[in-house]
C-alpha cells in the first residue's frame, strides 16, 4: 500500500545531554542557603523550605509528620480556617511532607499573588500554634487514614518490610501503630518544632516566575533569626542484614502484596550509578525483565517494580508487586529466577543499549522545565554536590559494561541476601 519501510525503525539520532542547569545559589545573613531556578515563561512560583526534620529525628512516634502537617492548622496570627481561606482565595496551595530524612513546606501560587501569600506562609513556618482543638481534628483524620490504609495488603507489607529491614526501634525502622495516635500530644509537636524548625536547619529553593521583588520579599521574611539555630546532627542508623520470608496473614485477600529487598547504599556510594542501570534492567521501567516476565508473559500482576531508595544514611533496594493469591508462590519463584539470571548471565548488548538510551531519555525529561529541574535538585540536596552530579551519573551510565553490571549483580542481588514480606492469604 505504500513504499515506506515500516519494519525499520527510523534512524536514531545522537541525543546530546545538554547540561543540567545549576540553580543560582546564595546565602542569607543567617546562613540559610537559597537556590533559585528561574523560568521566565511561567506565571507560577514554587517556594520550598526544607528542614532536616524527617521521621528519623523524632523521639516520639508520629511527631515529625504531625508537626509538619499541623503548620497549616493554625498559627499565632491566623486560625487554620483563615489560612485555608486565604490560600484558597488566592488560588494557592501548600504541600506539607515529611520523609524519613526531611520535612518540606512548599507553597505553590501565581506570582501576582505572592505578596499576599508570603505573610501567611511565613506565619505557618515561624509561628505555628499547635492548639489542642486543632490538633485533635487533624490527629483523628490521620488516625483514620492510617486505619483505612492498614486494610490494604500493600501497606501492611511495606510497613513490616520497613520495620524488619531497619530494626523496629531504629530511626528508619520505626513505624507507628494505631495507639501511637492516641498517645501523641500537642506538646510533642511543639517540642519537635522547637528542636528542628529554624534558620539553622533550613534550606530554601525557589523555582518558576521569580523576579527581583519576589526574591527580596523572601529574603526580608526569612533572613533574620528565627527558630532553632542548630543544624540537626546526623542520625545513627545501624546497618542491618535481615533475610528470610515473612508472611502476614490477610484472610480473604484476592491478591497478595510482595515486598522484597535489602539494605543497600545511597548516592555517595561508588556503585550507585551502576546499580541504577542494573535496577532499570531488572524492574526499573515498563520494559523491565520483571514486567516482561511476570506481567507481560505470565499475567500474574498489574505491575511489578523495583527501585533503590537512597536515604541520608544508606539506602534500600526493594521489589514491590501485588499478585493474584493463587500465583503468589509462582511470582516469588519468577522474581528469584530473574535475580539469578542477572547473576549468572551478562546482560545482552542490545538490551543494555536500550536501557542506557532509556535512562538518557529520563535524564532529559528531568530537564523539561524549571520545576522538573528543581525536583531533580531536591532529590540530591543532602549530597551538597549540585547538578553536576547528574552529568556524572549519566556519563557512568553510558560507559558501564555488561561485565561490571554482572559483578554488581553477584555482589548485591543474591536472592538469599534479601528479606521477603508477603501480605495476603496463603493458599
Partner 1 sequence: MIPFDRFTLPNGLRFIVHHDPNTPILAMNILYDVGARDEDPEQTGFAHLFEHLMFGGSVNIPRYDEPLQLAGGENNAFTNSDITNYYLTLPVQNAETAFWLESDRMLSLAFSEKSLEVQRNVVVEEFRQSYLNQPYGDVWLLLKPLAYITHPYQWNTIGKETAHITNASLEDVRRFYARFYNPNNAIVTVAGNVSTAYIKEMAEKWFGPIPAGPVNERKLAKEPEQTTDRLNEVERDVPFSAVYKAWHMCAQQHPDYYVIDLLSDLLGSGNSSRLYVELVRKQKIFSEIGAFITGDIDPGLFVVHGKVMPGVDPYTADQGIQQVIEHLISQKISEAELRKVKNKAIASLAFENISLLNRAMNLTFHEHHGDAGQINKLPAMYAKINVDSLAKASRELFRKGNCNTLIYKSVNKENRE
By CB under 8 A, the residues from 60 to 99 that bind partner 1 are 72, 80-81, 84-85, 87-93
The least CB distance from residue 184 to partner 1, in Å, is 13
Count of residues that interact with partner 1, criterion CB under 8 A: 76
Half-sphere exposure of 191 (CA within 13 A, CB side): 12
Q: Round to whole Å and give the CA distance between 21 and 308.
A: 25
Residues 232-271 that bind partner 1 (CB under 8 A): 253-255
Residues 6+ apart with CB under 8 A from 313: 56, 171, 172, 234, 235, 236, 237, 266
Q: Tally the residues of the chain.
A: 427
Is the distance from CB of 297 to CB of 334 less than 8 angstroms? no
The least CB distance from residue 324 to partner 1, in Å, is 6
CB nearer partner 1, residue 351 or residue 385: 351
Asked if 1 interacts with partner 1 (CB under 8 A), we say yes
Q: Provide the 10 A C-beta neighbour count for residue 239.
A: 9
CB nearer partner 1, residue 3 or residue 239: 3
In Å, how far are 235, 261, 316 from 309, measured between CA atoms?
A: 17, 11, 5
Q: Round to whole Å and give the CA distance between 29 and 128.
A: 24
Residues 360-379 that bind partner 1 (CB under 8 A): 360-362, 364-365, 367-369, 371
The least CB distance from residue 263 to partner 1, in Å, is 28
Asked if 18 interacts with partner 1 (CB under 8 A), we say yes
Across 235-392, the runs of DSSP E, i.e. the strands, are 244-249, 255-264, 301-310, 315-324
Asked if 2 interacts with partner 1 (CB under 8 A), we say yes
Residues 90-149 that bind partner 1 (CB under 8 A): 90-93, 108-110, 113, 137, 140-141, 143-144, 147-148
The least CB distance from residue 102 to partner 1, in Å, is 23
The least CB distance from residue 190 to partner 1, in Å, is 22
Tell me the H-state helices in 108-170: 114-126, 132-149, 153-166
Region near partner 1 per CB under 8 A, out of 13-21, 189-197, 310-318, 402-410: 13-21
167 Ramachandran zone, left/alpha/beta (phi>0; psi -120 to 50) = left
Grid coordinates of 3: 513504499
Residues 260-319 that bind partner 1 (CB under 8 A): 285-287, 295-302
Residues 332-361 that bind partner 1 (CB under 8 A): 353-355, 357-358, 360-361
Amino acid at each position: 500500500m505504500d513504499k515506506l519501510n515500516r519494519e525499520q525503525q527510523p534512524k536514531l539520532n545522537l541525543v546530546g545531554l545538554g547540561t543540567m542547569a545549576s540553580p543560582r545559589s546564595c546565602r542569607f545573613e543567617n546562613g540559610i542557603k537559597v537556590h533559585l531556578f528561574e523560568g521566565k515563561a511561567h506565571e507560577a512560583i514554587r517556594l520550598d523550605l526544607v528542614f532536616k526534620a524527617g521521621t528519623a529525628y523524632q523521639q516520639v512516634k508520629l511527631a515529625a509528620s504531625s508537626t509538619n502537617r499541623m503548620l497549616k492548622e493554625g498559627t499565632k496570627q491566623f486560625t487554620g480556617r483563615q489560612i485555608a481561606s486565604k490560600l484558597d482565595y488566592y488560588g494557592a496551595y501548600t504541600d506539607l511532607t515529611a520523609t524519613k530524612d526531611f520535612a518540606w513546606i512548599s507553597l505553590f501560587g501565581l506570582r501576582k499573588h505572592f505578596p499576599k501569600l508570603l505573610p501567611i506562609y511565613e506565619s505557618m513556618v515561624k509561628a505555628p500554634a499547635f492548639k489542642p482543638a486543632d490538633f485533635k481534628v487533624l490527629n483523628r483524620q490521620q488516625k483514620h487514614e492510617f486505619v483505612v490504609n492498614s486494610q490494604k495488603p500493600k501497606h501492611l507489607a511495606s510497613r513490616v518490610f520497613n520495620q524488619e529491614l531497619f530494626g523496629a526501634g531504629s530511626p528508619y525502622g520505626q513505624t507507628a501503630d494505631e495507639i501511637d495516635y492516641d498517645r501523641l500530644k500537642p506538646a510533642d509537636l511543639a517540642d519537635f518544632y522547637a528542636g528542628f524548625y529554624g534558620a539553622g536547619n533550613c534550606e530554601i529553593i525557589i523555582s518558576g516566575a521569580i523576579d527581583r521583588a519576589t526574591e527580596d520579599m523572601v529574603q526580608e521574611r526569612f533572613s533574620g533569626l528565627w527558630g532553632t539555630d542548630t543544624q540537626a546532627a546526623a542520625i545513627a542508623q545501624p546497618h542491618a542484614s535481615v533475610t528470610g520470608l515473612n508472611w502476614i496473614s490477610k484472610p480473604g485477600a484476592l491478591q497478595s502484596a510482595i515486598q522484597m529487598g535489602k539494605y543497600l547504599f545511597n548516592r555517595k556510594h561508588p556503585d550507585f550509578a551502576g546499580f541504577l542501570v542494573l535496577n532499570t534492567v531488572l524492574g526499573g521501567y515498563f520494559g523491565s525483565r520483571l514486567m516482561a516476565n511476570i506481567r507481560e508473559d505470565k499475567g500474574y500482576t498489574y505491575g511489578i517494580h523495583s527501585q533503590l531508595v537512597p536515604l541520608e544514611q544508606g539506602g534500600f533496594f526493594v521489589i514491590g508487586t501485588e499478585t493474584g493469591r493463587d500465583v503468589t508462590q509462582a511470582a516469588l519463584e519468577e522474581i528469584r529466577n530473574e535475580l539469578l539470571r542477572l547473576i549468572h548471565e551478562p546482560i545482552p548488548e542490545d538490551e543494555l543499549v536500550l536501557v542506557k538510551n532509556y535512562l538518557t531519555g529520563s535524564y532529559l525529561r528531568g530537564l523539561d522545565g524549571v520545576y522538573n529541574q528543581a525536583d531533580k535538585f531536591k532529590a540530591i540536596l543532602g549530597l551538597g554536590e549540585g547538578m553536576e552530579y547528574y552529568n556524572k551519573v549519566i556519563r557512568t551510565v553510558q560507559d558501564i559494561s555488561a561485565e561490571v553490571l554482572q559483578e554488581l549483580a553477584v555482589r548485591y542481588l543474591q536472592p538469599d541476601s534479601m528479606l521477603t514480606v508477603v501480605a495476603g492469604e496463603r493458599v
